[in-house]
Amino acid sequence: MKEFERIYLSSPHMSDEGYEQEYVKEAFDTNWVAPLGKNVDGFEQELADYVGIDHAAALSSGTSAIHLALKAVGVTEGDIVFCQSLTFSATANPIIYVGATPVFIDSDRKTWNMDPRALKKAFEKYTPKAVLVVHLYGQSADLDEIKALCDEHNVALIEDAAESLGTLYKGKHTGTIGDYGIFSFNGNKIITTSGGGMLVSNNEEKIKKTRFWATQSRDQARHYQHSEIGYNYRMSNIVAGIGRGQLKVLDDRVEKKRQIFSLYKEYLGELDGVVFPNENEFEYSNHWLSPMLVTKHVTPIEIMEALEKEDIESRPIWKPMHLQPVFSSYDYVGGNVSEELFNQGICLPSDTKMSVEQQMRVINIIKEVFGEKDL
């Protein structure tokens, strides 16, 4: 018999109040289980209202949202897109979908996100069609400098806010500051619909066009007519119902994630060789995951292996895109910050269902690896 329950990195957390079931039940009761319906419309409006933007399109994934954002910008074959290197591959893959060429940009140690200095160097070398910035693990990029460079060169800015729903940059929600923002509701995100995404913008016509593309680009005609290539990217009414319920507890989830990060930093932050990312003066982070750097004495792998023995899930930092075999032929601008973060980083369990006692188990195991006594 297991002594302890498994501790997950970040698993789905449905509301205690059952909000999700209410919306899903209504969809079943009305037999409205298609990719359109009241929940889809409601989720789009409620998410847009929450983050403070005019328009939103509910889609099947965050990846599809990035794909359609690139199309909305007009990125086509042969164009260049600047993309943050330290991210998950879902950020970069859609650049290839549209036939464009990615140029990967290094990270700033202050934010772990796109380095404005490296971005400036990239602009001196290339003329891109779009810049794709990421808010990694809920930490905001330094958007003022990045947006200023994009505006100077008349280039569209797309924010991959898949991991940062609820994060604020100078009082504004990430995902709403660039020309387009994307959110993800994958199973491990701060709120989940099991799978799904959202594209947001203040450009009403482009969001309408996005919905058109996402429903197979079906023309307004009695018969089935298509003048453009389309995609099966629309969110289902069932999935959207889960999202509407989850949105009601988003603030609670952000607060819990922040408490988890704070506790790790309190008990592990003074260990020699441990570094946590700063919450910079311009941001209010959702701390979707709690990443930690291990610079000496032990390695991230040693910590992960010690946690695995106790049935506790953890993960490495994302491997930068310019180090990935599939992207190895594309240019990279910057130094070695993203590579250092990858080599030294570990994502600690950040599950919002995790109790303080469970988190202290994690902390004690890590301290043991460092040779410390139990608390």
Domain ranges of the chain: 19-247, 250-369
CA distance 311 to 305: 10
CA distance 268 to 260: 12
What is the token pair recorded at 138?
A: 């809920």
CB 12 within 8 A of CB 194: yes
CA distance 230 to 331: 30
Q: How many Cβ atoms from other residues are within 10 Å of residue 242's Cβ?
A: 28
> What H or E segment, with its residue span, contains residue 303?
helix 300-309
Residue whose C-alpha is closest to residue 347's, from 319, 308, 317:
317
> Span 250-369: which CATH code?
3.90.1150.10
What pLDDT does 293 receive? 98
CA distance 196 to 148: 31
What pLDDT does 372 receive? 63
Bridge partners, 185 (sequence order): none
CA distance 101 to 83: 10
Long-range contacts of 76-83, Cβ-Cβ distance < 8 Å, separation of 24 or more: 76/100, 79/128, 79/129, 79/130, 80/126, 80/127, 80/128, 80/129, 81/128, 81/129, 81/130, 81/131, 81/132, 82/119, 82/122, 82/126, 82/128, 82/130, 82/131, 82/132, 83/131, 83/132, 83/321
In Å, how far are 116, 198, 262, 358 from 362, measured between CA atoms? 35, 34, 14, 7
CA distance 340 to 76: 33
The pTM of the full predicted model, rounded to 2 decimals, is 0.96
What is the token pair recorded at 91?
A: 């950020």
- Range 19-247 has CATH code 3.40.640.10: yes
List per-residue pLDDT tens for the chain, 375 residues long. 457 899 999 999 999 999 999 999 999 999 998 778 999 999 999 999 999 999 999 999 999 999 999 999 999 999 999 999 999 999 999 999 999 999 999 999 999 999 999 999 999 999 999 999 999 999 999 999 999 999 999 999 999 999 999 999 999 999 999 999 999 999 999 999 999 999 999 999 999 999 999 999 998 888 999 999 999 999 999 999 999 999 999 999 999 999 999 999 999 999 999 999 999 999 999 999 999 999 999 999 999 999 999 999 999 999 999 999 999 999 999 999 999 999 999 999 999 999 999 999 999 999 999 996 444
